[in-house]
Each structure stands twice: as C-alpha cells, then as structure tokens.
C-alpha cells in the first residue's frame, strides 16, 4: 500500500511548528525570569528601603535603573521579541534551520540584558561591561527588525499592502532600535567621557524613559490590540486611518520630549493616547460576544481596565510636566503605564493566546489568571496614589503603603508565573514528529 503523499508534508509542518514553539518558549521563560527576580524582587526591595527612609533618594540611581531595565527590556522586551518572531508572516514556509536568527537574537538579547543588570547592581568593570551590554542589545533588535521586515514585506507582496496593526508593530520595532541606539550612545559617553557610575544622569534618564516606553512597547501593544482584540472582544472594526494618525502624533510627542519640550510632549502624547483608544474602539460597547473560552470571564473587563490605566498614565504625564521637579508624579505616571497598562495587558492576553501559540490544550488555571490580575491592579492603584502622596509629602502615612503595594504586585507576579509554568507543562496538542 503506497503511503499518502500528504503525510511527509504534515510531519515537516509539525516539526517546524515545534521548533518555532521552542524558540517562543525560550523567550517567554527568559522574560518571566527577568520579571520575577532582577525585576520585581529588586523593585520590592527598593520600595522597602524608600519607605523606611521616607526618601526616594535612599536607593541609588544605578539600582533603580537596574530594576527598570530588567522589567522593561528583560521582561517586556523578551516577550515582544518572542511573540514577534512567532507572528512573522511566512516564517513557517521556511526550513527549521532558518530559525537560527531567532536563537541568535535570544542569545544576544538575554546576554545583553543580564549583563546590564549585573553591571548596574555590582558596578564591576562597568566602563567595559556597560557599553558591551548595550551593543549586544542593539544587535539583537537590529537582527529581529531585519527578519520582521522581510516577513511582512513578503506578506505585503501577497496581500498588496501592510495592515495598520503590522505597521504599528514595525514602527514600534523601529522605536526599539532608536531606544537601543540612544542606550548605546549614552553608555559609551558614561564609560569613556563623563561618568563616575553606570547610572544615567537624571535629566537624560527622564527623557530616555519617555523614548523607551512610548516608542517601543506602547505602539507594539497597540498593534497586538488592533490585530487580536476585535476578534477576541467582539469589537467593531478599527478605524485604520486613525490608528496611523495616532502613531504619527505619538512619534511627534516623543521627538518633542527628546528636544526637552516636556509640556508640549506630554500634551501631544495624551492626544495620541486618546486617538488610539478611539481608533481601536476598546472602550466602546462590543458588537459581538467576547471569545472567553479557556480563560476567566473577566478577560474583556481587564483589557478595558488596561486601557483605562493607559489614559490615566498619559494624563499624569501632563501633570508631571506641570511640576517637573516632582519625583512622585512622574514615577506614578510611569508605574500606571508599565504596570497598570502593560502588565495588565500581558497578564490578560498571555493566558488567552499563549496556550494556542505553545500548542497546549488549555490554560493551567482560570482562577489564577483572575487572582494575578486582581492583585497587580490593586497593588498598582495603591502604588500610584501613595507614591504621589508620599513623595510630595502630602501625608506621612502614605510611605507605609509603598511596600504594601509592592507586596501585592509581587504576589500577583508570582501567581502569574505559577499559572504560566503550569501551562507550559500542559500536554501538547501536536504529536511529536517522526
């Protein structure tokens, strides 16, 4: 009996998918490790010290930046790179050997972020290791951008145009390149010209943080929302031209921040934030029932809560520009953006999408999904309010709330990690290819 000709092709397809899942899983595990240990644990430690001393300056700038770098780049960056590789159009049409660039990106990125964290914390040979870490990170993002553009260009030739959500992802990746390029520049300046520690100067760092967050994870989060949420939440079709306008306005706001026009920048960024929420219709009434199979039924609510935090963060940014010497207001705005918006997005979207991406049958626990989202959002609300009250010295009791907020968020992170590890260990849907 002659074998069916389709079987070899199916076996090859399964093997290719399994290789791609291994790559994605490596990025996800790396991101979770950065989130839990050098990111969240160090952040909790910093807040306990700050609370005890009643002063934000009681923790060194290098330690604060080590925590921020591990959270933003080690965690969010690793997730975005992994999901970005998995989502590249036509990647499954190439041989498994073609995934070598993905593994190279993973090695460069993980080494660079880990080296940066160690350099900021221990400051051993930092004049050599700080610029080295920055170069490794930049090389990783450049290689990812080249591969992403190739994949989307192939799709554009087939479909005739690039979808707005893909333009946002590519634009965010270009912002990623810009961020890493500025990071390389400042790292070399500190190492060889003007620095006595690996910490970026405060004035530069405030503008660098705007570039880091608003040019890279924010547009990519917009892109993923525009791509998947109309399907998952049953939203009305996105307003495509308004999506691109919001991205352009956001980019102008970032440029204004780099030119030290902080008030103009904050107002422009707020305008872009309002426009993107209108464009993707995330806060409008759904047109169809949400698809919540396999996740907790609160999934649609938390997606909308994430975008409420997003608007709050943009509004607080205007307040921070009005009072530029305030550490508490600016820090609260960044926390509303990174934890309220980005972390809620990840904690809501990951349980919905990753089981399918990883070829698993189901999410480990819907209840754990809810607990992680509740704990991190309650912790974020306590942190944002108490940081403004405490750092502005409006009330002394607010200092006590800072470590409480950190503990709530840490617990949420641990619960999310347990749920993801349990999901990773679930039985796969694909049979091993022979």
Range of the domain at 194: 8-424
Question: What is the end-to-end Cα distance of the chain in Å, rounded?
Answer: 20
- Between CA 65 and CA 67 the distance in angstroms is 5
The secondary structure of 392-424 as a DSSP string is TTS-TTHHHHHHHHHHHHHHHHHHHHHHHHHHH
Strand partners, 428: 360
Tell me the three state secondary structure of residue 94.
Answer: coil
Which mean pLDDT values do the consecutive 10-residue runs of the chain (434 residues) have? 50 68 89 86 81 78 89 91 75 56 92 95 92 96 82 54 83 92 95 86 91 94 92 91 95 96 96 97 91 91 97 96 86 94 94 82 91 97 95 89 92 94 80 48
pLDDT in tens, 391-412: 888 889 999 999 999 999 999 9
| pLDDT at residue 9, as a whole number | 55
pLDDT of residue 333: 94
- Indicate the pTM of the whole model: 0.89
CA atoms within 13 A on the CB side of 50: 28
Question: What is the pLDDT at residue 211?
Answer: 95
Question: Looking at residue 4, what is its pLDDT?
Answer: 47
The predicted-structure confidence for 75-124, as pLDDT tens digits, reads as follows: 999 998 988 777 765 554 554 445 778 899 999 999 999 999 999 999 99
The pLDDT, as a whole number, for residue 220 is: 92
The answer to whether residue 434 sits within a structural domain is no
Residue 266 inside a domain? The answer is: yes
Do the domain assignments include residue 432? no
* Domain of residue 87, CATH code: 1.20.210.10
Residue written as token pair 């390029």: 181
How confident is the model at residue 329, as a pLDDT? 93
SS3 120: helix
Question: What φ, ψ does residue 143 adopt, rounded to 5°?
Answer: -65, -40
Rg (the chain; Cα; Å): 21
Read off the tokens for 138. 């930049």
Alpha carbons within 13 angstroms on the beta-carbon side of residue 165 total 17
| pLDDT of amino acid 90 | 52
pLDDT of res. 59: 79
Reading the block at residue 362, the tokens are 């189901």
Q: Is residue 127 part of a domain?
A: yes
Number of domains in the chain: 1
SS3 of 294-350: the string is: CCCCCHHHHHHHHHHHHHHHHHHHHHHHHCCCCHHHHHHHHHHHHHHHHHHHHHHHH
Residues 280 and 236: their CA atoms lie apart, in Å, by 8
């Amino acid at each position: 009996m002659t074998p069916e000709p389709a079987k070899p092709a199916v076996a090859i397809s399964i093997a290719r998918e399994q290789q791609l899942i291994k790559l994605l899983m490596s990025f996800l595990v790396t991101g979770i490790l950065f989130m839990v240990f050098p990111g969240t644990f160090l952040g909790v430690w910093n807040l306990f010290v700050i609370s005890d001393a009643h002063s934000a300056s009681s923790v060194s700038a290098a330690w604060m930046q080590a925590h921020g770098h591990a959270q933003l780049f080690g965690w969010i960056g690793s997730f975005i790179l992994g999901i970005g590789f998995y989502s590249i159009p036509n990647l499954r049409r190439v041989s498994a050997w073609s995934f070598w660039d993905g593994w190279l990106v993973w090695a460069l990125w993980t080494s660079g972020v880990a080296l940066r964290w160690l350099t900021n914390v221990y400051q051993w040979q930092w004049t050599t290791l700080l610029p080295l870490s920055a170069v490794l990170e930049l090389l990783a993002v450049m290689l990812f951008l080249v591969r992403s553009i190739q994949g989307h260009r192939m799709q554009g030739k087939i479909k005739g145009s690039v979808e707005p959500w893909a333009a946002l992802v590519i634009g965010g990746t270009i912002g990623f390149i810009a961020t890493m390029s500025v990071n390389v520049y400042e790292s070399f300046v500190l190492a060889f010209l003007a620095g006595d520690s690996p910490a970026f100067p405060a004035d530069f760092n405030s503008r660098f943080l705007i570039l880091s967050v608003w040019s890279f994870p924010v547009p990519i989060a917009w892109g993923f929302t525009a791509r998947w949420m109309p399907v998952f939440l049953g939203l009305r079709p996105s307003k495509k031209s308004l999506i691109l306008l919001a991205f352009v306005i956001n980019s102008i706001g970032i440029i204004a921040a780099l030119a030290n026009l902080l008030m103009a920048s904050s107002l422009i960024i707020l305008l872009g934030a309002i426009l993107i929420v209108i464009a993707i219709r995330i806060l409008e009434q759904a047109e169809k029932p949400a698809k919540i199979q396999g996740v907790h039924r609160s999934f649609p609510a938390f997606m909308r809560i994430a975008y409420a935090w997003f608007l709050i963060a943009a509004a607080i940014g205007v307040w921070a520009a009005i009072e530029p010497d305030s550490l508490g207001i600016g820090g609260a705005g960044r926390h509303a953006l990174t934890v309220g918006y980005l972390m809620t997005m990840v904690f809501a979207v990951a349980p919905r999408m990753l089981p399918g991406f990883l070829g698993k049958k189901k999410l480990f626990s819907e209840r754990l999904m809810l607990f992680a989202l509740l704990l991190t959002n309650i912790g974020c609300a306590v942190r944002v309010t108490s940081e403004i009250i405490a750092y502005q010295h409006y009330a002394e009791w607010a200092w006590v709330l800072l470590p409480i907020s950190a503990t709530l968020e840490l617990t949420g992170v641990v619960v999310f990690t347990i749920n993801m590890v349990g999901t990773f260990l679930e039985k796969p849907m694909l049979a091993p290819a022979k």
